[in-house]
Structure 1
Amino acid sequence: MVKADSINSKELETLSNTPQARSEKDFGNLAIANPDIEEGTIVGDDPAADPEKQAPPPEITFPDGGLQSWLVVVGASIALFCSFGYVNAFGVYEAYYLSVILKGKTADDIAWIGSIQIAFIFGSGLFAGSIFDRYGARVIIVPASIMLVVSVMLTSICKEYYQFLLCQGILGGLSQGALFTPAVGCIGHYFNKKRAAAMGIVVAGSSLGGVILPIMLANLLERTTFGWTVRSIGFLFIGLLWITCVTVVERLPHRKGTFFLPQAFRNPSYSLLVAGNFFILWGLFTPFFFIPTFALNLGMSHSMSIYLVSILNGLSFPGRILPGIIADKIGRMNCMIIAPIVTCILIWCWLGVHTAAGLITLTAFFGFWSGSVISLFPAVMAQIVPNPREMGTYLGMAMGISGVAGLTGSPIAGALLTHYGYTAAISFSGSCMIVGTAFLLVARYLYNPKIFAIA
């Protein structure tokens, strides 16, 4: 029989509430039956007594609603409006730089600005996720908000190519990634049953930014200088990001232990999801960057080519919310498979577009389904994370790897476009989507081999 002084009352309470303890006649029999209980199991695990153990307590619950939960959703959505929403407007910058400020540069040269920005958004998530898990949201969101405003203001006075790379690409990407990761990670602290729907609303903020910001840029560029146009974006961000700084707050205790969690890659579903997301992002941003220039080649006006960016992002708004609601009913991984399959088909359909009407139609459908791809990934990631307190680190490590795809995807497509035309660039994008979808299919099978199961 285990002596009473060998276990404290809190540990005894934890053990007595486990299925193993309830199946035994008394605690002594449990100790005899399990002499070598492994660290990290629920039996005998007390995270409060040993912070290095990261298994979630069995009684953990999620509000799945309430004022504070939805305020976090609002603040996180604003964070994505100012981060990925701003990146989604890069098609406007691409067209303007190519025709006005940086006329001596090629399409792939200018694409490097946006690609570096995307790469640093994902790459900075590698560190932002762990910082969020260990120290909380505001520690990183407040300085990131200041950095983003500084980045936009500096972009407004840039004249040379290298200046845009530094201010818009590197500094902008770092600050936007530091906003994105904790904003999405906090949702996993508040939602479980409604997690995909909540994630969809949050990620829809980037779609709203992708609608409003291109229109704002296009209209201001016709009425004032480039400098004051971009500074107007900076002032808008000042008015919005303070809401994010106030509302986005973590709920669960901070994680202790190592900065990264490399053992996550021992989970084959996680590793395959990361690989699938890498290839999907490698090809996904090609239409975002090059649909405006494709429209110009079809004879569409410059203003209409810019509005195509808003159409794309406008349709991605319902594409990020509706699939999330459906995913909570039929399975998040199931929807995560459907969305890239349809998106891949649409990219290949781009090869057959030769009219303005056809391009507008393709842009609308692509906007909806590409939005689904982006919004469902964090929800699926949260589903396979064993402990919600590790959500930021798991997501950050995945984003860090995906940063390579964000860095190289659009410049590769731009180089193919410059040397071989749109057919080569579109084929590269579609091929990447096929490979990425194949990885997701295998991940889904390993997670649950039953084809019609809700997973």
Structure 2
Amino acid sequence: MTKTDSISSKELETLNNTPQARSEKDLGNLSAPNPDIEEGTIVEEDPTLDVEKQEPPSEITFPDGGAQAWFIVLGAAIAMFCSFGYVNAFGVYESYYLTVILKNKTADDIAWIGSIQIAFIFGSGLFAGSIFDRYGARIIIIPSSILLVTSIMLTSICKEYYQFLLCQGILGGLSQGALYTPAIGVIGQYFNKKRAAAMGLVVAGSSLGGVILPIMLANLLERTSFGWTVRSIGFLFAGLLSIPCFTMVERLPHRKGTFFLPEAFKNLTYSLFVAAFFFILWGLFTPFFFIPTYALNLGMSHSMSIYLVSILNGLSFPGRVLPGILADKLGRMNLMIITPIITSLLIWCWLAIDSATGLIVLTAFFGFWSGSVISLFPAVMAQIVPNPREMGTYIGMAMGISGVAGLTGSPIAGALLTHYGYTAAISFSGSCMAVGTTLLVVARLYHDRRILVVV
């Protein structure tokens, strides 16, 4: 084993101080001779010491590369393509539902479909993360892949509003979330020094989906029916999802013990980070949902408004890869503060946009920096988690709480848009981002008060 393959002494000390490791050390001390007890004395065993034994994570190595590790990245990126990449294309559905299928519904009514989908993506992570830690990746990847394809096929035959809510919103969101959490958790078991870069590549899969899927949807909707357009997405996903079903496999032993880890919230850095991500998600998806309709108000054609979604997601691809590479060198927490600051400023700049050219430029910049926010979240989370075998549970609990923000953020913006106009909706989005960024700064300073250090 080379020095670069193993974790640092500081990380090793952290792992040896996890609750599991400390309990095992205490058990080991019980077997040592006690000088206060005479030899031959029978000592009754304390029944309260029936603690579940688990191998202490005395030394954990990370390949940080190699064929298997990069195949894991490929499979996880495809899972992202089919989960977050698909929901990133909801702006196309929003516009189409509003003008064709569900013309009797308002913008905030239709936004509930996408918001419920986002909420269940994050909410299902609450259970998917613990299942991944305890039983492995494939036991959840395979059934969730089947359910996602099923939800898309059912969406293709929907006619009523409640049907879209059930098939696309709830079933789609549950299956997408069950794909997302293991895809993030498994990367943390294979990468350490290159973790942010690897996770950036994985999350970039959702950007690629956000580029390809809106264009695919827009072109097919012009050439064929809604049903066959959506079914084409289903057939595509059926082929793609077979790859993560075969390639994604966990590397570390499964975690034992309780299903959830509520003691994680005793870590103030983790709690602050979860609260910050809640507020950031509350405001982040407003541009994804409403930039196409804003473009229509500026006089853009329907097809051009759809291409804005692809521009946004296309620029988020380098936004998810490049900051991940820089974060491994400059500090993941440091960069995690910079990216939402710029994203928040861009949302406020949206208030001044009154031309198609300006909106295209804003969309491009927002795509890049919002992509950075999404990609750095799991990298920073992995840095906070004391034991890599608990990563899925930590991420899942954070996602479960953030699911409330995903559920309510866009409908609130949609309601503000319907009753007060775009200024109110944009102001809500920018304010949420500002609050989340402030909490990130507090979490960073609590973790390490030194400003000019790599954290």
* TM-score in terms of structure 1 length: 0.90
Instruction: Give the corresponding residue for 1:158.
Output: 158
Instruction: Give the corresponding residue for 1:211.
Output: 211
Q: Secondary structure of 1:189's match?
A: coil
Kindly provide the amino acid, as one letter, of the partner of residue 292 in structure 2.
P
**CA pair 354-240 structure 1, distance change in 2 beyond 3 A:** same
After TM superposition, give the deviation of residue 58 of structure 1 in Å. Answer: 2.7
Deviations 1:238-261 (A, max 9, x none): 110000100110000000000000
Residue pair 1:132, 1:392 contacting (<8 A) in 2 also:
yes
How far, CA to CA, are the matches of 2:214 and 2:171 in structure 1?
Answer: 21
**CA pair 281-46 structure 1, distance change in 2 beyond 3 A:** farther
How far, CA to CA, are the matches of 2:289 and 2:59 in structure 1?
Answer: 47
Instruction: Give the corresponding residue for 2:409.
Output: 409
Deviations 1:226-281 (A, max 9, x none): 00000000000011000010011000000000000000000000000000000000
Residue pair 1:42, 1:55 contacting (<8 A) in 2 also:
no
**CA pair 72-413 structure 1, distance change in 2 beyond 3 A:** same
After TM superposition, give the deviation of residue 331 of structure 1 in Å. Answer: 0.3
Map 1:187-226 to 2 at 5 A: 187-226=187-226
Q: Secondary structure of 1:249's match?
A: coil
How far, CA to CA, are the matches of 1:121 and 1:43 in structure 2?
Answer: 36
After TM superposition, give the deviation of residue 44 of structure 1 in Å. Answer: 2.9
After TM superposition, give the deviation of residue 57 of structure 1 in Å. Answer: 2.0
Instruction: Give the corresponding residue for 1:332.
Output: 332
Q: Secondary structure of 1:252's match?
A: coil
Output the aligned Cα RMSD.
1.9
Map 1:51-450 to 2 at 5 A: 52=52, 57-450=57-450
Deviations 1:52-71 (A, max 9, x none): 46785232110000011000
Kindly provide the amino acid, as one letter, of the partner of residue 151 in structure 2.
S
Kindly provide the amino acid, as one letter, of the partner of residue 434 in structure 1.
A
Residue pair 2:24, 2:56 contacting (<8 A) in 1 also:
no
How far, CA to CA, are the matches of 1:450 and 1:226 in structure 2?
Answer: 55
Kindly provide the amino acid, as one letter, of the partner of residue 278 in structure 1.
F
Deviations 1:388-441 (A, max 9, x none): 000000000000000000000000000000000000000000000010001100
Kindly provide the amino acid, as one letter, of the partner of residue 216 in structure 2.
M
Residue pair 2:21, 2:57 contacting (<8 A) in 1 also:
no
How far, CA to CA, are the matches of 2:448 and 2:233 in structure 1?
Answer: 45
Decide which of 44, 63, 66 is 2:25's aligned counterpart: 44
Kindly provide the amino acid, as one letter, of the partner of residue 147 in structure 1.
L
Q: Secondary structure of 1:41's match?
A: helix
How far, CA to CA, are the matches of 2:207 and 2:375 in structure 1?
Answer: 10
Residues paired across the two proteins, number = 420
Deviations 1:303-349 (A, max 9, x none): 00000000000000000000000000010000000000000000000
Q: Secondary structure of 2:241's match?
A: helix
Q: Secondary structure of 2:79's match?
A: helix
Q: Secondary structure of 1:44's match?
A: helix
**CA pair 44-232 structure 1, distance change in 2 beyond 3 A:** same
How far, CA to CA, are the matches of 2:154 and 2:22 in structure 1?
Answer: 51
Deviations 1:94-150 (A, max 9, x none): 000000000000000000000000000000000000000000000000000000000
Residue pair 2:319, 2:369 contacting (<8 A) in 1 also:
yes
Residue pair 1:42, 1:58 contacting (<8 A) in 2 also:
no
Residue pair 2:123, 2:400 contacting (<8 A) in 1 also:
yes
Q: Secondary structure of 2:105's match?
A: coil
Residue pair 1:51, 1:255 contacting (<8 A) in 2 also:
no
Residue pair 1:56, 1:387 contacting (<8 A) in 2 also:
no
How far, CA to CA, are the matches of 2:55 and 2:286 in structure 1?
Answer: 40
How far, CA to CA, are the matches of 2:209 and 2:230 in structure 1?
Answer: 14
How far, CA to CA, are the matches of 2:179 and 2:135 in structure 1?
Answer: 15
Residue pair 2:292, 2:309 contacting (<8 A) in 1 also:
yes
After TM superposition, give the deviation of residue 43 of structure 1 in Å. Answer: 8.3
**CA pair 239-178 structure 1, distance change in 2 beyond 3 A:** same
- Structure 2: gaps (5+ residues): 1-8, 11-17, 32-49
Deviations 1:331-369 (A, max 9, x none): 000000000000000000000000000000000000000
Residue pair 1:41, 1:55 contacting (<8 A) in 2 also:
no
After TM superposition, give the deviation of residue 172 of structure 1 in Å. Answer: 0.0
* TM-score in terms of structure 2 length: 0.90
Map 1:20-35 to 2 at 5 A: none
**CA pair 218-446 structure 1, distance change in 2 beyond 3 A:** same
